[in-house]
Amino acid sequence: MNSDYDLKPLFEPRTVAVIGATDVPRKIGNAVISNLIFGGFKGEVFPVNPSMEKVHGKQTYPKITDVPKEVDLAVIVVPAKYVPQVFRDCAEKKVKACIIITAGFSEVDEQGKQMQEEIAKIAEENKIATVGPNCMGHINNSLSLNTLMATSFPPGGNISMVSQSGTVGLVLMGEMARMGGGISKFISSGNEAVLRLEDFLEYFAYDTDTKVVAAFVEGVRNAEKFLRVTKELTKRKPFIVIKAGRTSAGANAAHSHTASIAGATQIFNAVAKQNNIITCEGTEDLIDYTVAFSMGVLPQGRRVGIITPGGGWGVLAADACEEFGLEVPKLSQSIIDKISERAPPYWSHGNPIDLAATRNVDTLAWSGDVLFENNAVDSLIIQFFAGDLSVMVKNWRDRGNLSEEYLNMMEQIYRQIMEKIAIDSGKLVEKYKRPVFGITRDTEFTQMLVSRGVPAYADPRKVAKSLIKMLEYKEHRDKEK
């Protein structure tokens, strides 16, 4: 660790005070304290508010200095003009870390900029690990710690993320979790008056709960540190980043947003490539790549086996693999003979393995086992139900002519098959430690797959892009060893 600030009290506080806590509905101070109290935080929580005696039934203190215990972390949500004084109180109380959620600083005007500089000075003098201002809070799932100003609490996992936009971060985090990539730690870095992107990345690099790091970046303030930190980080774990403000229109918008120095996109890209940082074109890439990496199994090579009950998806998957630089190898005669033992007579006799609408769905994962066992491929795409069953059933319900009994029966049959395929696919990952991907738009099928270590995407292009990013990361890392 090389940070000027100790981030442990920020991410692992035993005590948290919320300055500006309230239980008035729709107030930010209510959202933050509710997340702490009702989110099940494993430490102690102290509401601070001079005009309330109790907040959500909890004794409330007029000032932070009135709190009868040591405070590891203070979260500030009072209006901007009160923040400097409240922050001085925090210094007096010897608070170790502070998150200033309040907006209205350097992003708005000269006066705000001066207030922010004052805060930075106090933080530095007192070594308070300070986040924000103008941020949305943070999460550490292992402690059920949640200081967000929004009612969002994704399930736990091994992904940690820093976001220079709170709202973008929230959406990414929610969607990653939905796609099977749970969250270890999240931080919205706001105006970065004190602690910056680079500091959080450094913390995540050495955090043992964090296996994958993601970031939404508008601008890097300390390029030298960013370089140093990311070099160490990517040796230890994959770091997936979306750099916004790439274009002149985007850079202008970024400047207005967090007063950050965007630009220098070429430099960023060069650094990314050199430091084995995985870059994304948009939010979809970030979600797909991060989820794929979080499953923890990297491909050992470019060869992909494609298994499908219906031809069209095989063609799309083969196109996607070749277009992104993967291989769809031909199968040896002995493997073809082996698969013919169980596949229907008119199967494709090649890769993609098109099982010609077989009714024996066990053949899908079984064929994958044959490929892995004979080391014919490095990863698998198993496609079974690419659509969304619940939407299909809903469409029929809306028409109202098909019996509930029939619809329920149909849904149940499909769900059973999906579960079987998910279980078998998960077993392949476990047995061979090679990646297996699913193609589906079905929410439940996605859950069945991802909970068994099988990422599931709507389109094979997403699989191919993720696989090639994983391979590039691995090859770069192995070269450096």
Query: How many C-beta neighbours within 10 Å does residue 286 have?
Result: 24
Q: Which of 257, 338, 434, 452 binds a copy of itself (CB under 8 A)?
A: 257
Sole window of 61-69, 225-233, 404-412, 425-433 interacting with a copy of itself (rule: CB under 8 A)? 404-412
- Closest approach, Cβ 62 to a copy of itself, in A, equals 27
* DSSP, residue by residue, 118-160: HHHHHHHHHT-EEE-SS---EEEGGGTEE--SSS--PPEEEEE
Structure tokens given for 51: 């005009």
Placement of tokens 């923890």 in the chain? 296
Closest CA to 132 of 99, 106, 161, 87: 99
Among 2, 334, 360, 395, binds a copy of itself (CB under 8 A): 395
Starting at the earlier edge strand, list the strands of the sheet with 212-217: 145-146, 138-140, 183-188, 156-163, 212-217, 239-243, 278-279
Q: How far is the CB of 404 from a copy of itself (least distance, A)?
A: 12
Q: Which is nearer to a copy of itself, 227 or 458 (CB)?
A: 458
Residue 352 in the binding site for a copy of itself (CB under 8 A): yes
What's the closest the beta carbon of residue 457 comes to a copy of itself, in angstroms?
A: 10
Site residues (CB under 8 A) for a copy of itself, limited to 167-226? 167-171, 174-175, 177-178, 216, 218
CB-nearer residue toward a copy of itself: 297 or 463: 463
Residue 56 CA to residue 163 CA, distance in Å, equals: 30
Q: Shortest Cβ distance from residue 25 to a copy of itself (Å)? A: 7
> Does residue 399 interact with a copy of itself by CB under 8 A?
yes
Using alpha carbons, select from 302, 385, 307 the residue that is nearest to residue 348: 307
318 CB-side CA count, 13 A? 15
Tell the smallest beta-carbon distance from residue 178 to a copy of itself (Å): 5
Pick the binder of a copy of itself from 261, 410, 423, 468 (CB under 8 A). Answer: 410
Near a copy of itself in 119-148, by CB under 8 A: none
Residues 420-479 that bind a copy of itself (CB under 8 A): 441, 458-461
* Residue 152 near a copy of itself by CB under 8 A: yes
23 versus 199: smaller Cβ distance to a copy of itself: 23
Tokens encoding 77: 């949500």
Q: How many residues bind a copy of itself (CB under 8 A)?
A: 97
User: Which residue lies nearer to a copy of itself by CB, 60 or 308?
Assistant: 308
Could you count the other beta carbons within 10 Å of the beta carbon of residue 280? 21
Residue 56 engages a copy of itself in binding (rule: CB under 8 A)? no
CB of 122 to a copy of itself, least distance (A): 23
C-beta of 293 vs 313, nearer to a copy of itself: 313
Pick the piece of the chain touching a copy of itself (CB under 8 A) from 230-238, 256-264, 419-427, 445-453.
256-264
Q: Scanning residues 67 to 96, which ones bind a copy of itself (CB under 8 A)?
A: none
Q: Are residues 150 and 136 in contact, defined by beta-carbon separation less than 8 angstroms?
A: yes
Min CB(322)–a copy of itself separation in Å: 4
Q: Does 52 bind a copy of itself (CB under 8 A)?
A: no
Task: Name which of 128 and 471 has its Cβ closer to a copy of itself.
Answer: 471
Burial of 378 (0-12, 13-18, 19+ CB in 10 A): buried
For residue 182, which of 161, 165, 151, 205 has the smallest C-alpha distance? 161
Q: Which of residues 260-299 bind a copy of itself (CB under 8 A)?
A: 262, 281-284
Q: Which of residues 26-45 bind a copy of itself (CB under 8 A)?
A: 26, 34, 38-40
Are 159 and 182 spatial neighbours (Cβ–Cβ below 8 Å)? yes
Please calculate the CA angle 155-156-161 and round it to the nearest 5 degrees: 100
The residue among 91 and 253 lying less far from a copy of itself, judged by its C-beta, is 253
Range in contact with a copy of itself (rule: CB under 8 A) among 43-51, 123-131, 295-303, 398-406: 398-406
CB–CB of 378/434 below 8 Å? yes
Q: Which is closer to a copy of itself, CB of 60 or CB of 348?
A: 348
Among 318, 343, 370, 470, binds a copy of itself (CB under 8 A): 318
Distance CA 284, CA 137 (A): 23
Instruction: Please name the amino acid found at residue 418.
Output: M
Q: Is 49 or 446 the residue whose CB approaches a copy of itself more closely?
A: 446
Q: Is 436 within 8 Å of 429 (Cβ atoms)?
A: yes
Among 53, 70, 322, 430, binds a copy of itself (CB under 8 A): 322
**Residue 99 near residue 135 (C-beta atoms within 8 A):** yes
Helix (H, G, I), strand (E, B) or coil at 453: coil
CA 304 – CA 281 distance, rounded (Å): 24
State how far the Cα of 90 lies from the Cα of 339, in Å rounded to an integer: 69
Complex with a copy of itself: residue 91 or 261, whichever CB lies closer: 261
305 binds a copy of itself per the rule CB under 8 A = no
φ/ψ of residue 74, rounded to 5: -115, 135
Confirm or reject binding of residue 247 to a copy of itself (CB under 8 A): yes
